[in-house]
Amino acid sequence: MSCNKSINSEIVEAGIQQQEVTQLLNGASTIADAEPGIKPLTDIIVNLEDIKPGINPPLTVIEERNGISVVLHFTQDSPRPDVSVVVITTMSKNAKPLNNYLFQAVVPKKCKCRLQAPSGTKLPAHNPFLPPSAITQIMLIANPFKEPIYLKFMLSYTMDDETFTEMGEVDRLPHL
């Protein structure tokens, strides 16, 4: 397996601190030493069918890289006063199928983030005569101090036994 970009150069480009990267690569979806007093998100489950779109427009965080697009949809749902819900939608227009989908996210220490399981880990090869298939994933963000939120993320997947890794960040999420 080879990466389409050097992970080390992506880390430098994205400016992600070593602790956060280590946790991302080890499968964590939040920073372990979050502020004390932030309630856990493990007891919150949100069903996609119950989510209502919010007033903020969707934000494309990956646009047509290798045929892959990732969009964040902000919702009006708030399962707890300090918790916001974001729906992550990943689509592929690549002629090859996508496998082993994994999206990971990191938020500031004064917040917590939990990703529910994605709707799938595979996308079929794109057929221009059919609507593109999508993987959806629900992200819960606890922000009890109402701080501005930046988001750092990593997406990895395979196509034809080649592993691809995309990293990026959103400087400031809309007020959730």
CATH classification at residue 71 = 2.60.40.1230
Give 99's pLDDT tier (boundaries 50, 70, 90).
very high
Does the residue 131 lie in any domain?
yes
3-state secondary structure of 167: strand
Does the residue 115 lie in any domain?
yes
Give Cβ neighbours of residue 47 (< 8 Å, ≥ 6 apart). none
Do 48 and 136 form a contact (C-beta atoms < 8 A)? yes
Give 117's pLDDT tier (boundaries 50, 70, 90).
very high
pLDDT at 111 over 70: yes
Does the residue 3 lie in any domain?
no
Q: Which residue would you say has higher pLDDT here, 118 or 16?
A: 118
Strand partners for 159: 162
pLDDT at 128 over 80: yes
Does the residue 147 lie in any domain?
yes
The total number of structural domains that make up the chain: 1
Q: How far is CA 86 from CA 48, 63, 77, 140, 165, in A?
A: 10, 18, 9, 6, 22
Strand partners for 60: 71
pLDDT at 120 over 90: yes
Does the residue 82 lie in any domain?
yes
Strand partners for 38: none
Does the residue 106 lie in any domain?
yes
- Residue 155 lies in domain: 48-163
Q: Which residue would you say has higher pLDDT here, 1 or 164?
A: 164
pLDDT at 112 over 70: yes
Does the residue 159 lie in any domain?
yes
Rounded average pLDDT over 77-97: 96
Does the residue 127 lie in any domain?
yes
The reported pLDDT for the residue numbered 36 is 59
Give 132's pLDDT tier (boundaries 50, 70, 90).
confident
